[in-house]
């Protein structure tokens, strides 16, 4: 049994991870900590476990084996490294950190302390992604020339009595989040296209806010891959009824995915579109993979390359938007950052 501490209910997926933990026969939630004491106490009461206000007491408790981190993103580095140094395994929400350098420092601490870190990138376990990868691997599209992925919702569309929409107000706090739609919801198109299209050469992004002081709520990035393919990533918090779309185009065919509708056209399969009769079985969700890595020593399918590649695109996109230019990823990989302290603006 893995005894787990829940560290913060800040992220909108925190309840989901608590539910997944409770549904997993190998996990026992033992305690809640939250940087917001009132929120943490309420959550602990709901889960029928103790609340501990002192993070150090949680992390030094020998009965705690692991932590699930759903703090503000700007606290990830500090709290995850502290957790690793106290020999706690770590499950956390994307993104891992704001910079590639911070990601590297986190992974160094994880490796040094021999603990398991999992970042939740769940769409890499879905059957449509696995089918897309299979189609590419079998060469049914020929040479990949273009990839597009769109994921958007209406979370910032004003509602009666709530001008911010249904997303929590703190999701628009740039210091805590590091950005808006692109860094949060856009993460899914980013890590999917990274995995399917390969190493990235350059990024050109427009991260559109509703006003000068707000985070982006409607964003697009053009991605140049080392292979020569081009990618388009679209996301936003202002789209009602927008379907999830993943499109791959190549010299021999095309694969179009819109929600649960999948169509493939390939010169190698004859004329016209086909709908696959079967799809690959989905892989275990990130939390299950994390548990299996701790107990069985299994190697997760979600890797540190996936995690750091996600931060790399975000970091390049922020620079591209701020400077109004195309940014090569080689620029980002050579940047050295100061160690950030809690509360420092990123």
Q: Are 128 and 215 within one domain?
A: yes
Check: CB of residue 264 under 8 Å from CB of residue 134: no
Report the sign of the C-alpha dihedral through residues 288, 291, 292, 297, in that order.
Answer: positive
CA 320 – CA 204 distance, rounded (Å)? 6
pLDDT at site 344? 34
**pLDDT average, residue stretch 101-107:** 97
**pLDDT average, residue stretch 121-142:** 98
E strand intervals along 121-252? 144-152, 200-209, 216-225, 230-236, 245-250
Q: Which helix (H) or strand (E) holds 41?
A: helix 37-47
**Stated pTM of the model:** 0.93
Burial zone of 160 (CB within 10 Å; 0-12 exposed, 13-18 middle, 19+ buried): exposed
* CATH code, 91: 3.40.50.720
Residues constituting the chain: 346
Query: Which domain-ending residue is among 276, 299, 322?
Result: 299
Q: Are 117 and 137 within one domain?
A: no
Q: Is the pLDDT of residue 345 over 60?
A: no
- Residue-wise pLDDT for 187-235, tens only, equals 999 999 999 999 999 999 999 997 766 899 999 999 999 999 999 999 9
Q: Are 36 and 70 within one domain?
A: yes
Lookup result for tokens 């986190």: 106
CA 187 – CA 233 distance, rounded (Å)? 10
Q: Are 159 and 174 within one domain?
A: yes
Q: Are 174 and 57 within one domain?
A: no
Q: Are 277 and 259 within one domain?
A: yes
Q: Are 101 and 133 within one domain?
A: no
71-87 core/surface letters (b: 16 or more CB in 10 A; e: else) = bbbbbbbbbbbbbbebe
Cα-Cα-Cα-Cα dihedral of 190, 194, 197, 200, to 10°? 100
CA 321 – CA 2 distance, rounded (Å)? 43
> Among 232, 185, 236, 231, which Cα is nearest to 207's?
236
> Among 131, 84, 79, 124, which Cα is nearest to 286's?
124
CA 306 – CA 15 distance, rounded (Å)? 24
Q: Which helix (H) or strand (E) holds 87?
A: none
**pLDDT average, residue stretch 96-122:** 98
Check: CB of residue 91 under 8 Å from CB of residue 286: yes
pLDDT above 90: percentage of residues in the chain: 91
Q: Are 182 and 170 within one domain?
A: yes
- Residue-wise pLDDT for 294-331, tens only, equals 999 999 999 999 999 999 999 999 999 999 999 999 99
Confidence of residue 336 (pLDDT cuts 50, 70, 90): low
Q: Are 109 and 161 within one domain?
A: no
Q: Are 146 and 174 within one domain?
A: yes
* CATH code, 147: 3.30.360.10
The phi, psi pair for 141, rounded to 5°, reads -100, 0
**pLDDT average, residue stretch 264-274:** 93
- For residue 20, what are the CA distances in angstroms to 26, 243, 255, 281, 285? 11, 26, 32, 20, 10
Domain count, the chain: 2
Q: Are 259 and 308 within one domain?
A: yes
CA 87 – CA 143 distance, rounded (Å)? 45
Burial zone of 232 (CB within 10 Å; 0-12 exposed, 13-18 middle, 19+ buried): middle
Confidence of residue 333 (pLDDT cuts 50, 70, 90): confident
Q: Are 196 and 254 within one domain?
A: yes
- Residue-wise pLDDT for 149-186, tens only, equals 999 999 999 888 888 799 998 999 999 999 999 999 99
> Among 49, 43, 53, 37, which Cα is nearest to 14's?
43
The domain of 139 spans 122-285+300-346
Tokens at 70, concatenated = 């759903």
């Amino acid at each position: 049994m893995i005894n787990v501490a829940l560290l913060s209910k800040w992220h909108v997926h925190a309840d989901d991870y608590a539910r997944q933990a409770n549904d997993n026969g190998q996990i026992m939630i033992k305690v809640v900590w939250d940087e917001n004491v009132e929120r943490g106490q309420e959550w602990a009461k709901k889960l029928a476990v103790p609340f501990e206000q002192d993070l150090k007491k949680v992390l030094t408790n020998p009965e705690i084996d692991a932590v699930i981190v759903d703090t503000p993103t700007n606290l990830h580095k500090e709290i995850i490294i502290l957790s690793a140094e106290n020999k706690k395994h770590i499950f956390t929400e994307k993104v891992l950190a704001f910079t590639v350098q911070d990601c590297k420092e986190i992974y160094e601490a994880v490796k040094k302390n021999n603990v398991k870190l999992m970042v939740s990138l769940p769409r890499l376990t879905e059957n449509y992604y696995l089918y897309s990868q299979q189609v590419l691997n079998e060469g049914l599209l020929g040479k990949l020339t273009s990839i597009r992925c769109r994921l958007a919702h209406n979370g910032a569309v004003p509602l009666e009595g709530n001008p911010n929409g249904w997303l929590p107000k703190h999701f628009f706090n740039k210091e805590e989040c590091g950005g808006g739609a692109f860094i949060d919801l856009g993460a899914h198109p980013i890590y999917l296209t990274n995995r399917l299209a390969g190493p990235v050469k350059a990024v050109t992004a427009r991260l559109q806010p509703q006003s000068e002081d707000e985070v982006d709520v409607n964003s697009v990035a053009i991605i140049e891959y080392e292979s020569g393919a081009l990618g388009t990533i679209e996301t936003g918090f202002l789209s009602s009824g927008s379907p999830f779309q993943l499109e791959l185009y190549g010299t021999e065919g095309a694969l179009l995915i819109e929600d649960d509708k999948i169509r493939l056209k390939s010169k190698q399969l004859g004329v016209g579109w086909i709908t696959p009769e079967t799809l690959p079985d989905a892989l275990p969700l990130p939390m299950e993979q994390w548990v299996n890595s701790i107990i069985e020593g299994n190697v997760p399918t979600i890797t540190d390359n996936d995690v750091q590649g996600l931060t790399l695109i975000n970091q390049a996109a922020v620079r591209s938007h701020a400077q109004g230019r195309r940014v090569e990823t080689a620029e980002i990989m050579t940047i050295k950052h100061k160690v950030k302290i809690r509360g420092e603006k990123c």
